[in-house]
Each structure stands twice: as structure tokens, then as C-alpha cells.
Amino acid sequence: MNQIDPSAIGQLFTDARTHAAWQDRAVPDSVLKDLYDLMKWGPTSGNSTPARMVFVRSPAQKAVLLECMAPGNVEKTRTAPVTAIVAYDLAFFEHLPRLFPHADMRTGFAANPERAARAALMNGSLQGGYFILAARALGLDCGPMGGFDAEKVNAAFFADSTWRVNFICNLGYGDAARLHPRGPRLSFDEACRIV
Amino acid sequence: MNQIDPSAIGQLFTDARTHAAWQDRAVPDSVLKDLYDLMKWGPTSGNSTPARMVFVRSPAQKAVLLECMAPGNVEKTRTAPVTAIVAYDLAFFEHLPRLFPHADMRTGFAANPERAARAALMNGSLQGGYFILAARALGLDCGPMGGFDAEKVNAAFFADSTWRVNFICNLGYGDAARLHPRGPRLSFDEACRIV
């Protein structure tokens, strides 16, 4: 295989930015379904795929979510056409007999909730990376956020569920004129070694 | 923005597979540097970027790594041109005054190693997703693996370091003729809700 074309590299990685201001342009449900149908293919340990998404778009549910956000994240979330609660399912292992029928992966997780929770966070975050890049591949801009009250989000959206919030991500078409300068990154020699 | 072209969508998501058999084709160091220079741009909480990579290619270091792998992962790792130890730095917060100068994010993590470890795992895994898709964008195939002895890997590669292994990923040009059938995924309605 060859590299994908430079404009796609730019859209996914080198030119892509975290957005906080949004154009007045809707995101149809069909795009959210396309987004899931891309991100779902990314690899996870034992095909465990613990990530779960709640796409919040109704004014009533958006208002509930806004109550959970840190003050600096309220306005960008209020104005985003859709906000995704990217969660993971602590009981993801119940699907393993279907998702990974080659061996019994379920029993070990069912017997060890701490191990299951760590695997849900790790693989659910890996899928969070696929989610963000799949959204960009579809032409969406993302505004992922860690600034929210996780207990409030879990109480409001997952009270009778084994799903737990991981991070929250605004989705829409960003207003590039309102971006701030980009933060620096570590150099290859700081973050990598070849041995 | 528009969707990236269908062939790139296929290369990244819909046609991409986890590989275990490799063509006899080298991966130059320059491609590993290109890979880091793409994945590094993916967003993380507070620009914390805790992921660290050790690219293992020398026979001596490969032999050390093989001692740490689960039996089913030895041959695929031995034959891969490069194997990446995708790690995270438990002391990632020491870089925050440079990476996120807008506020003091360092002190809170330095005072709470458990919170720092969870953030390193979460953001390091998010970057693991960027890593896999950046490799595919460059035309590489990936073979990510969870089957290894993490204590052995940490002892062998990170004894005097704050880096810790997260997952291990073979890199090269896969032999598509030797792929197994693809595992199923959850449906949109199983994994997502729109509210």
C-alpha cells in the first residue's frame, strides 16, 4: 500500500484542530451512523470494542449535559450541533462470546471487575482515537473535552446502566477563523527510541 | 470539509486488518519518524501527549522482546520488520509547563500519582488509536497485541525509566493472503444512542 493522499493526511492529522466555535450547519443522523460504521473497525484487544456513544442533540438533553460541564466548556457545548458522550461499557465482556468466539475471554473479565474496568478504559480510549479520526475523515470537526463532572454525567445519563463516561466531544463544522494558535508537541527524540 | 476519498477510507478503516504475516520488505527509520510526526498531532487532555514509543528492530533487542511475548505472538513478532512498544510516561506531567503553558496542570498530577497513572493510560491509549491509523495512512500494516508479560517488558526496557508498556504493535507490509476472516462488530443500536 501507499500513503493516502496529502489532502487526507492534512484533514486527519497535520491541519486538523480542536474546535470550539461552530458554523450554523447541521450534522444529520446519517453522518453519526457513518461515523460509527467507520470507527467500529479499529482493532481492540480480543475484539472487545467497549466504547459506547451517546449523541446528544435535543435541547432538553443538551441542557442536562450543560449542567455537567466545566464553566469553560459550556458555551462551546451549547452551540455545537451534536455533542458525543464517548463512554465505555464496564460489562463489555458479556458480548465476547459473539465478538471473539475463538476462546473464552469472558470468564476472566467477569471474575475480575478491576481488570475489566482497566481494559474498558484502555480499549475504550483506543476507540476514542478511532472516533476522532473517523469524524475528521467524514469532514466533521471535533472538540474533545476532559473538563466535566464525570459523576454528574454518569448519574444523568447512565444511572441504570453499566456505561460510564470517558470523554465528551463536540461535533460539527468548525469556524476556523476562531481557532487559537496550536500547542507544541514533543520531538521524536523526546517521545521515541529506535533500538 | 468533505469526506476524504473512498480509497483512503478503505485503507484506514473499512478494508484495514490486523496482520500477523509479513512481506519481506523493510520499514526505513524515516517512515517511523513520519509516523510519529503524524500521530503527535492528535488531541489529548491538556495537550498532555503521554504516549512513548520504542521501535524494536535490532536482532538483539528483538530477542529480548520475544522472551516477553505470549506463545501465540512470538512468531509474528519475530518476523515483523519492526515491533513498536507503545508505552506511556507516568511522569508525562513534567512536560506540561511547556506543552500547556496557559495554566498550571502539572501540580495536580504531581501530587496525585494515581490520577496521573489513569490519565497516562487514557490519553496514551487515545494516542495508540492515532498511532495505528497514522501507520495505516503511511501504507503500513499493523499487528497490535495485548498478549505479553507487561512486568517483563517493563523490566527489560524501562527499568530506570518512568515509561510503562501499554500495548505492543508489529509494523510492516502484511501478507494479505494469510489473513483470517474478520470478527464481527456491534451494531449502531447496540453501541450508540441519539438523544
Tally of domains in chain B: 1
pLDDT of residue B1: 74
Asked if residue B181 belongs to a domain, the reply is: no
Q: In whole angstroms, what is the distance from residue B88 CA to residue B123 CA?
A: 9
Domain of residue B49 covers 25-173
Asked if residue A14 belongs to a domain, the reply is: no
Beta partners for residue A22, in sequence order = A174
State whether B130 and A133 contact (CB < 8 Å).
yes
Q: In whole angstroms, what is the distance from residue B51 CA to residue B47 CA?
A: 11
- Successive 10-residue mean pLDDT values, chain B, 195 residues: 94 97 97 98 98 98 98 98 98 98 95 98 98 98 98 97 98 95 96 98
A 66-105 residues with CB < 8 A to B: 95, 98-100
ipTM higher than the 0.95 cut? yes
pLDDT of residue B95: 98
A10 Cβ contact list (under 8 Å, min separation 6): A16
Give contacts of A141 with chain B, Cβ < 8 Å.
1
Asked if residue A189 belongs to a domain, the reply is: no
Asked if residue A5 belongs to a domain, the reply is: no
CATH of the domain at A50: 3.40.109.10
| In chain A, % of residues over pLDDT 90 | 98
pLDDT averaged over chain B?
97
Q: Tell me, yes or no, if A184 comes closer than 8 A to chain B by beta carbon.
A: yes
pTM: 0.98
Q: Mind listing the pLDDT tens digit for each residue in A103-129? A: 999 999 999 999 999 999 999 999 999
pLDDT averaged over chain A?
97
- Best interface-test mutation with B: which of A5, A40, A148 has the largest number of B CBs within 10 A? A40
Q: In whole angstroms, what is the distance from residue A38 CA to residue A42 CA?
A: 8
pLDDT of residue A76: 97
Asked if residue A137 belongs to a domain, the reply is: yes
Question: CA-nearest residue of chain B to A59?
Answer: B195
Asked if residue B144 belongs to a domain, the reply is: yes
State whether B192 and A52 contact (CB < 8 Å).
yes
Distance from CA of A49 to the nearest CA of B (A): 8
Asked if residue A100 belongs to a domain, the reply is: yes
- Taking the CA atoms of B81, A122, B39 and B97 in sequence, report the sign of the dihedral they define: negative
pLDDT of residue B58: 98
Asked if residue A180 belongs to a domain, the reply is: no
- Rg over alpha carbons for chain B, rounded to the nearest Å, is 18
pLDDT of residue A6: 97
Q: Is the model's pLDDT at A1 over the cut of 80?
A: no
